[in-house]
A and B are shown apart, each in its own frame.
Chain A
Amino acid sequence: QVQLQESGPGLVKPSETLSLTCTVSGDSLSSYHWSWIRQPPGKGLEWIGYIHYSGGTHYNPSLKSRVTISGDTSKKQFSLNLSSVTAADTAVYYCARTSGTYILDYWGQGILVTVSS
Chain B
Amino acid sequence: EIVLTQSPATLSLSPGERATLSCRASQSVGSYLVWYQQKPGQAPRLLIYDASNRATGIPARFSGSGSGTDFTLTISSLEPEDFAVYYCQQRSDRYTFGQGTKLEIK
Where the two chains meet, the residues of A that have a C-beta atom closer than 8 Å to any C-beta of B are 35, 44-47, 58, 60-61, 94, 96, 100-105, 107-110
- How many chain B residues touch the partner (CB < 8 A)? 24
Q: Which residue of B lies closest to A4 (CB)?
A: B43
Instruction: Return chain A residues, CB-CB under 8 Å to B45.
Output: 107
B87 with A104: CB separation less than 8 A: no
Q: Which residues from 64 to 106 on chain B have a C-beta closer than 8 Å to any C-beta of chain A?
A: 87, 89-91, 93-100
Instruction: Return chain B residues, CB-CB under 8 Å to A44.
Output: 87, 97-100
Q: Which residue of B lies closest to A47 (CB)?
A: B95
Q: Which residues from 21 to 37 on chain B have a C-beta closer than 8 Å to any C-beta of chain A?
A: 32, 34, 36
B55 with A105: CB separation less than 8 A: yes
B43 with A109: CB separation less than 8 A: yes
